[in-house]
Amino acid sequence: MTRLALERHQVWVYLLAIALGLGVGSLWPAAGPALEALLWPTLAVLLFATFMQVPLLQLGKALRDRRFAAAVVIGNFVVLPLLAWVLVAWLGMLGASPAVRLGVLLVLLVPCTDWFITFSQLSGGDVPRAMAVTPLNLVLQLLLLPAYLWLMGDATTLVSFHLATLAPALLVVVVPLAGAAVAQRTFKTHPKADAVREALAWTPVPLLAVVVFLIAGAQVSTVWQGLHVLPQVVPVFVVFLVAAALVAKALARWLALPAAQGRTLAFSLGTRNSFVVLPFALALPAGWEATAVVVVVQSLVELLGMAVYLWWVPRRLFVGSAETD
């Protein structure tokens, strides 16, 4: 199996991992503490492997193509946050709990920095520009997420974010990020750097499968109880996927982007960075367990949605030559 094939069908790997985790947690509930102890270091390794795929030292490349960079920034950090705010307000009107609304906000406010590149490649998108824009997406989401939550979250949501509670989650994100930056700088000219990066590119899918297995096994009762959120959040995530593609189409037309760049833009807007926000969701205090369930559900809905995108985006939204300019 090729890496592209693995990434294209990864949703089935995660569903199997969740089923196995629920089975283990139900049959051996005493294993819960051990599984939870393994969760945080596994998350850290996953994030390190993910950040190693982001050209952290090449932020300037994203700004060379100003039209494409503008489309990415406007879409991911202006239009889609406003859409997320509207969707969360809609959930509030439907009676969704603060934990559910927070999960939706967390995961919809952060654009993807990894597997959208794979889907861009599969759809005939502009892979070099996809790779160039990833550090810009990562830096902006880390800087803007606290401001978005402060603006869009209600009082109950903000109270849940105590620095002492979230400090471990912050370390799980910052330490792998710093480690990846140091590793990229250290091995920048090493003859085996590309081979190491290629080997690490195989690891996010199996590592995320281990993470969701550990979550399901360690918090089996929470997962079962959290199934009631599916009718609330799945339609929201489907609406987001459809709207993101249409926003990409509008921005590409406005900025006169070629078809290949439009496809890449669609996958950038349609995919979210659940890896980065999952530690924060897991670190929330008791009573907020549904937040992590929402984040996991979004990633599964997104991956199924990408199967539709791979047909819809190149054949209906951005028809034309896949050549880049």
Q: Which CATH number fits domain 3-317: 1.20.1530.20, 3.30.300.30, 1.10.220.150, 3.30.499.10?
A: 1.20.1530.20
Which of 22-59 are b and which e, b meaning 16 or more Cβ less than 10 Å from the residue's Cβ? bebbeeeeeebeebeebbbebbbbbbbbbbbbbbbeee
Indicate whether 158 pLDDT > 90.
Answer: no
Q: Quick one: average pLDDT of 163-190?
A: 82
What does the DSSP 8-state code read for residue 202?
Answer: T
Residue by residue, DSSP assigns 1-14 as --HHHHHHTHHHHH
The domains of the chain are located at 3-317
pLDDT in tens, 89-100: 999 999 999 999
- What sign results for the dihedral spanned by CA atoms 30, 20, 307, 48? positive
Q: Which amino acid, one-letter code, is at 236?
A: V
Of 3-7, 22-26, 243-247, give the range with the top mean pLDDT.
243-247
Q: What is the pLDDT of residue 246?
A: 98
Quick: pLDDT tens for 249-277: 999 999 999 999 999 999 999 999 998 99
3-class SS of residue 82: helix
Q: Are 217 and 22 in contact (CB under 8 A)?
A: yes
pTM: 0.91
pLDDT of residue 127 exceeding 60: yes
- Summarize pLDDT for 24-33 with one digit per residue, the tens: 999 999 999 9
The model's confidence at residue 324, banded by pLDDT at 50, 70 and 90, is very low
Question: Which pLDDT score, from 0 to 100, does residue 27 have?
Answer: 94
- Banded pLDDT at 157 (limits 50, 70, 90): low
Other C-beta atoms lying within 10 Å of the C-beta of residue 218: 23
Task: Provide the b/e sequence for 192-211 (b: ≥16 CB within 10 Å).
Answer: eeeeebeebbebbbebbbbb
Neighbouring CB atoms inside 10 A of 61's CB total 18
How far apart are the C-alpha atoms of 212 and 295, rounded to whole Å? 11
Give the per-residue pLDDT at 153. Answer: 78
